[in-house]
Structure 1
Amino acid sequence: MCERNLVLYNTMITGLFRCGMIEESKRLFGEMRERDSISWTIMITGFTQNGHDKEAIDMFREMSFEGFPSDQFTFGSVLTACGSLLALEHGKQIHAHAIRMDYTDNIFVGSAFVDMYSKCKSIRVAEMVFRRMAVKNIVSWTAMLVGYGQNGLSEEAVRIFCEMQRNGIEPDDFTLGSVISSCANLASLEEGAQFHCRALVSGLVSFITVSNAIITLYGKCGSIEDSHRLFNEMANKDQVSWTALVSGYAQFGKAKETIEFFESMLADGVKPDGVTFIGVLSACSRAGLVEKGHHYFNSMIENHKIVPIVDHYTCMIDLLSRSGKLKEAEDFIKKMPCRPDAIGWATLLSSCRVHGNMEIGKWAAESLLELDPQSPASYILLSNIYASKGRWEDVSHLRKQMRDKGVRKEPGCSWIKYKNKVHIFSADDRSSIYSEQIYAELEKLNSKMIEGGYVPDMSSVLHDVEETEKMKMLTYHSEKLAIAFGLIFIPDSLPIKVVKNLRVCGDCHNATKFISKIAQREILVRDAVRFHLFRDGLCSCGDFW
């Protein structure tokens, strides 16, 4: 085959792949009597770009066996395939191959390895590769930043962005959007707002990726009005823009606004995806709109042809069980084409605790233990059900099982930001240098609350102790300590914003309503599930959470 024909074949295969004609590309490649490294790389890249990642890896292996050398484009494509498949072992083998070929100092290949290891959840290996790179560009830094975000290390993502800036690298729209998303995950409005300003000054706010990240930031930080205002200011909107606002309203439990906005999205001709429906179903769940939830779930399947994933089924389990329809939730689970994941079983178990259903609660707990033997949720929630029924021997037995199996409960903690410092509190915490002031503030508040009609919810204390001891336990929960800190130090003109790692308990929810009225302060609590905005003795959730 002459060189001209070889180039022609390579060009034709590239064109076929770009049109999604996979089989035709494979047939043409098979007809080639002569191939070069470019031919093989085109095939690997074409498979990767069309989602045929396993075939891309197999083609790379065959290329190496045939003795053709790889270049930076070959490595970049096959490593993308490994990342998509979470094929860590294949990725490691390719890494060894790259070392033998002396490609580890190549900036393009190094960035691809950072991306691959990050996607395969080997973030520390990705970090090691990144640190060893002699030269880095915006792609390298962005790969590391996104990797931290993908692995739940949002603080490190913000740190690496600042380090990138100190190294004189200017961010692009993707980098800036990624770091703003990390601020959203941290609920860090102060840092996020600074990056918002950076986007305005640099002009990167005109990129839809950045604008979408900013809408998500304000929504996740509890400023849903700002999120909606920024959405209205966008010249161009896509599916992600609409979904960001749908999810923001859903997290606030604003079912009416969520549904209205979703219907506006449909009327505007924007096609929703699976993530959009998770937001809509969550909003229905948090407002107890069972019929609406069923309607949208069926519409998703029948009208929008979206195949439900486990997250959609979990929303439906939550919708039914939260509304007290535990038998319907049980029947729904038994008809599902797949088994619920740990979140689904924990959701059902949590509702069984609230509604005191021992039978279904035991079934959910056993199913959760079978799925995840080291999960503390099954032990804790089931012991809560026993405690609410006064079955203290069963509670003691479950706690002994936890000790014997080395299962540890995640300790509850709440935190509040003041003057760029995060102050973290746990129950009965006296480690703060302001403890004396905080506890005095709580004592003063408690007296005023009781005068105003507050009655402590003893059912929130799951220990077999005297009533006076239960009251003491309730008074110093972590979110109450954080709120007291906020009342002392946060100026009256600003809302008090508290984040909690677990779901807020019934007593703290009730107490915070009283505090908001007594102190005439707006208090925003973001727990593990949703936002609660307390104002003048009322909560945005309508006491349904």
Structure 2
Amino acid sequence: MSSSSSNYYCTFLKLCCEARNHTQAKKLHCHIIKTVETLETFLSNNLVSAYGKLGNILYARRVFDQMSEPNLYSWNSILSVYSKSGKVDEMRDVFNRMPSRDVVSWNSLISGYAGYVSIVDSVKAYNLMLKDGSNNLSRITFSTMLILASSQGCVHLGRQIHGHIVKFGFQSYVFVGSPLVDMYSKTGFILDARKAFEEMPEKNVVMFNTMITGLLRCGMIEDSRRLFYEMQEKDSISWTTMIAGFAQNGLDKEAIDLFREMRLENLEMDQYTFGSVLTACGGLLALQEGKQVHAYIIRTDYTDNIFVGSALVDMYCKCKNIKSAETVFKRMAYKNVVSWTAMLVGYGQNGYSEEAVKVFCDMQKYGIKPDDFTLGSVISSCANLASLEEGAQFHGRALVTGLLSFITVSNALVTLYGKCGSIEDSHWLFNEMSVRDEVSWTALVSGYAKFGKADETIRLFENMLAHGLKPDGVTFIGVLSACSRAGLVEKGHQIFQSMIKEHRIVPILDHYTCMIDLYSRAGKLEEARSFINKMPCFPDAIGWATLLSSCRFYGNMEIGKWAAESLLELEPHNTASYILLSSIYAAKGKWEEVAKLRKGMRDKGLRKEPGCSWIKYKNRVHIFSADDRSSPYSDEIYSELEKLNYKMLKEGYVPDMNSVLHDVEDSEKIKMLNHHSEKLAIAFGLIFIPPDLPIRVVKNLRVCGDCHNATKYISKITRREILVRDAARFHLFKDGTCSCGDFW
């Protein structure tokens, strides 16, 4: 066969490999067998390589075995096939039977071990190669071993290879220098990486990029910035590396500014460039800049890129532009688990928990398997909805799929059960976790705090410290709120001071609000006012409303007016100031003042948020408002309430008239109190929820004093466990008592 024919067949084989066309390669092989009497070694070698690249190991071995005179290249070809496919036993057998070996043979053996077996086997092969003679050494050998040391975090091996590089005179090779710098950077020895970089006589753009990347994982932003601007030539990777580094280290503005500079340089951008700058836009909540990047992406070939599409969804969600996120998501031609998770998390973080759960269900229909982050996120949405049934189903899914072993999922479940009032289940799951982090402890601390179980909350907090874990701001919010609801003023003050002095945490408004609540609930209203006056900033609406609520409870008109006026100044359209101040006046019988406040609300077009309560039964949510008769079960519900009211009065229940803000007869006030939304929901639960299950009710506002007292009586009369989650906390009513100890 002529050499020209052989070259023609080899070229065609190469095209088959590039197109990944297995069928065409087999057809060509058949044609060669039919037309060529004796295959020369050169063509047979190319057939072995082609079948190897196409993943057909069986055919590659058949061609090799049929060769009459295989040369060293033939042996290396089949060795390479086994090495790249992970067939370690076959690779070892071929290597041992080779009549002679060269540097390619040894590199194939080392690469095979490095990729599919263990570092021990790779090092053994490397040491055998050294014994066989230094002629076998090449830059590929050293590069492979350095990459292995880097991936395994084995700096000791890396240093040994570095010594051999110097010994055998390979230190000037750029191809070796880059993985050397990368190895030291990834194993945390950045000074050694910098020294190796500086000692290289020649540096190309790849080496600069590697060094810059190393300085960025280690947080040395200024050094990486300086090195970047020292580069005589920068490619797209250099710019993208710096943009990504800025974004990953929280320097979002710098990332966006550098992206603008890159555009002025007219450099080509890829999915990583766009993904990094969009991350920066999301982190900075820079919606306009994000839209500009989006407009630029539309003019490129990356509009349909799944990585860029996911980054756009994430950016719009973080910037609270859910509509744009939905539009991008729906237009994506292809979606993977990252895309679906970005949309799901976006819904959850923006308060659209029901939509987040729906996205998860749609994701299942398309056959996308959730990862731990996806499942953890949808469980968090169930927690926000207080949807215990759905959350428990996802718990089952986590067990079946094995995702429960991921701390992300376990933490979400601990939070779910805590937020849904199943604190025992939350604690049980916490105890079952093999690994716990700060989030795990904080989730359980917050769960107990929601129940007002101060002793358990503080005990958990102290155990967390004893385990050497560092509490964060969220942990302290849980502990301080527990102290507040239990009236532990001194303990709360002590913990607040330790947060600042011992744990070096700068308080945010939520911490100050907890302290205002701590003093206010305990009736220490003057201390609360003094604390506010010493704060470095004014309280937010929640802080003022907290103080105002306690002023209503304790009947302090002076501080109450101050709090109400401050709240109105901060948020003129917030109805809480009007409602709470009205309560103070109503309790004092100052109905003219109540009327003035109501007129002020009407003149400003303000309306009190209507209270509503809901209960779930047979996968359907039943919602009730005061005096609601829209339910098809209204007759049964109101009949049940009449029976309960009669029994409660016999047990000593006295309606709390102060909970009614209208100047009407007492009989009318009692009628109003009897038909509050939570009482309707509880009556529904008594009728339909099986006796062996607790009745779970959720309310959008804080439970009023009369309903709280009445529910205690109901739990005693019916011997039912009733769990009410209001806007502030959980109330577990059982045998005539409440878990809050009547302090809420």
TM-score range, shorter chain: over 0.9
From 561, 566, 569, the counterpart of 1:362: 561
1:163 counterpart residue number: 362
Verify: 1:457 aligned to 2:617, yes or no: no
Deviation, 1:288, is 0.4
1:374 counterpart residue number: 573
Alignment of 1:267-346 (within 5 A): 267-346=466-545
Deviation, 1:3, is 10
2:258 counterpart residue number: 59
**Matched AA of 1:289:** L
From 713, 720, 723, the counterpart of 1:524: 723
Residues 446-504 of structure 1, C-alpha deviation per residue, up to 9 Å, x if partnerless?
00000110000000001011111000000000000000001101111111110000000
1:233 counterpart residue number: 432
Cα distance in 1 for partners of 2:485, 2:254 equals 44
1:251 counterpart residue number: 450
2:608 counterpart residue number: 409
Verify: 1:78 aligned to 2:277, yes or no: yes
RMSD between superposed Cα atoms in Å: 1.2
Verify: 1:194 aligned to 2:393, yes or no: yes
- CA spacing shift, 1:39–1:179, aligned 2, 3 Å: same
- CA spacing shift, 1:33–1:476, aligned 2, 3 Å: same
Residues 52-90 of structure 1, C-alpha deviation per residue, up to 9 Å, x if partnerless?
111001111111122122211011111111111111111
Alignment of 1:449-488 (within 5 A): 449-488=648-687
Deviation, 1:4, is 5.8
**Matched AA of 1:108:** F
Residues 178-216 of structure 1, C-alpha deviation per residue, up to 9 Å, x if partnerless?
000100111101000000000000000000000000111
1:116 counterpart residue number: 315
2:711 counterpart residue number: 512
**Matched AA of 2:390:** E
Tell which deviates more after alignment, 382-391 or 420-429. 382-391
Partner SS, residue 204 of structure 2: helix
Deviation, 1:26, is 1.1
Cα distance in 2 for partners of 1:83, 1:358 equals 45
1:40 counterpart residue number: 239
Cα distance in 2 for partners of 1:48, 1:281 equals 34
Cα distance in 1 for partners of 2:259, 2:592 equals 61
Partner SS, residue 616 of structure 2: strand
**Matched AA of 1:97:** Y
Deviation, 1:390, is 1.4
Alignment of 1:85-234 (within 5 A): 85-234=284-433
Residues 334-384 of structure 1, C-alpha deviation per residue, up to 9 Å, x if partnerless?
101111111111111111111111111111111111211111111111111
Deviation, 1:398, is 1.4
Deviation, 1:403, is 1.6
- CA spacing shift, 1:331–1:506, aligned 2, 3 Å: same
From 668, 690, 693, the counterpart of 1:491: 690
1:394 counterpart residue number: 593
**Matched AA of 1:212:** N
Cα distance in 1 for partners of 2:475, 2:540 equals 20
Cα distance in 2 for partners of 1:184, 1:469 equals 38
Cα distance in 2 for partners of 1:35, 1:485 equals 70
From 207, 218, 241, the counterpart of 1:8: 207
Cα distance in 2 for partners of 1:290, 1:66 equals 61
- CA spacing shift, 1:3–1:446, aligned 2, 3 Å: farther
Alignment of 1:18-37 (within 5 A): 18-37=217-236
TM superposition outliers: structure 1 runs of 4+ over 2 Å = 1-4
Deviation, 1:30, is 1.2
Tell which deviates more after alignment, 185-194 or 33-42. 33-42
Larger radius of gyration: 2
Cα distance in 2 for partners of 1:4, 1:135 equals 40
**Matched AA of 1:283:** A
Cα distance in 2 for partners of 1:266, 1:196 equals 29
Structure number with the bigger relative contact order (C-alpha 8 A, sep ≥ 6) is 1
Cα distance in 1 for partners of 2:299, 2:564 equals 51
Tell which deviates more after alignment, 403-412 or 190-199. 403-412
Partner SS, residue 525 of structure 1: strand
**Matched AA of 2:605:** G
Tell which deviates more after alignment, 400-409 or 1-10. 1-10
Cα distance in 2 for partners of 1:385, 1:13 equals 64
Alignment of 1:417-432 (within 5 A): 417-432=616-631
Partner SS, residue 518 of structure 1: helix
Residues 131-180 of structure 1, C-alpha deviation per residue, up to 9 Å, x if partnerless?
11111000000000000000001000000000000010010000000000
Cα distance in 2 for partners of 1:362, 1:87 equals 39
Partner SS, residue 693 of structure 2: coil
Which blocks of at least 5 consecutive residues in structure 1 are unaligned? none
Residues 240-288 of structure 1, C-alpha deviation per residue, up to 9 Å, x if partnerless?
0000000000000000100111111111111111110000000000000
Deviation, 1:408, is 2.2
Deviation, 1:11, is 1.1
**Matched AA of 1:175:** T
Tell which deviates more after alignment, 491-500 or 1-10. 1-10
Deviation, 1:387, is 1.4
Tell which deviates more after alignment, 25-34 or 173-182. 25-34
Partner SS, residue 417 of structure 1: strand
Tell which deviates more after alignment, 61-70 or 346-355. 61-70
**Matched AA of 2:515:** M
Cα distance in 1 for partners of 2:203, 2:468 equals 48
Partner SS, residue 652 of structure 2: coil
Cα distance in 2 for partners of 1:18, 1:522 equals 53
**Matched AA of 2:528:** A
**Matched AA of 1:169:** I
Tell which deviates more after alignment, 143-152 or 68-77. 68-77
**Matched AA of 2:229:** G
Residues 401-435 of structure 1, C-alpha deviation per residue, up to 9 Å, x if partnerless?
21221222211000001111110000000000000
**Matched AA of 2:575:** P
**Matched AA of 1:55:** E
Deviation, 1:115, is 0.4
Cα distance in 1 for partners of 2:586, 2:297 equals 59
